[in-house]
Amino acid sequence: MIFTTLARLHRSWMSAVGVPPPQDDDVSTAPSSSAAAVARREFILGLQPGDPEHENKCRSFVDKALSSCPKVKFMREALKALGVRSSDADFVTCAHCPDGAATAGGYLPEFKLVLLCQQWVAQQPSEVENTLTHEMIHAYDDARAHMNWMDLTQHACTEIRAASLSGDCNFRRELDRGNLHPANLGGAGARCVRRRAELSVAMHPECPDADVAAKAVARAWETCYADKAPFDAVGTHLY
């Protein structure tokens, strides 16, 4: 999930570093890659410092995933093909997230970056690869469709795709969550994707309640659950 939870926080972060938040009618405007890079750097410099040990651990796990995880490497190349500067050292940033964020991180479209909460990574290193892939799918959708992130249906679409393609809903993860038993194995993956997408959309600042989130996911479901880009050319073995 991720953009959604951080959406409640990134405006205060931007204000803290002197970067004005976008107006609601400007959210779908895609800045140039150079402008995004400058804004990204200003944003990163303004992040509050956290535990250096957490930062070092986060950076180590991120670097390992970027260099050795097949699906993360694949997404990085797919983003580059769309003109995203995914090889920039700060495209994936570790930072201390504000207390109470209760999130792993997020894709921040204003800055074209993936941010991972370093205190979460230090506690959940095994989740880094799937989380990076999830956020890179959001970045991919943003780059190819110039998304309006305030539109709940568009947001639902990318959450459906990210949950489906990142590994968030594979058999082992659902089994570990206690969501599988012999009587409900059929359609378990789709149920997981729908559940996680609805939870993410429900945290969107423009979403008033869970019922509205469910309706947004339902509107996007048929098209977006079937959309496997950029993995459609390589099959499902990467995720």
Q: Which residues are catalytic?
A: 135
Pair type for strands 113-117 and 105-108: antiparallel
E-state strands within the chain = 92-95, 105-108, 113-117
Do the Cβ atoms of 223 and 161 come closer than 8 Å?
no
Helix (H, G, I), strand (E, B) or coil at 2: coil
Do the Cβ atoms of 153 and 201 come closer than 8 Å?
no
Residue 3 CB contacts under 8 Å (≥ 6 apart), including other chains: 106, 107, 108, 109, 138, 149, 155
- Which residues are registered as beta bridge partners of 115? 93, 106
Pair type for strands 92-95 and 113-117: parallel
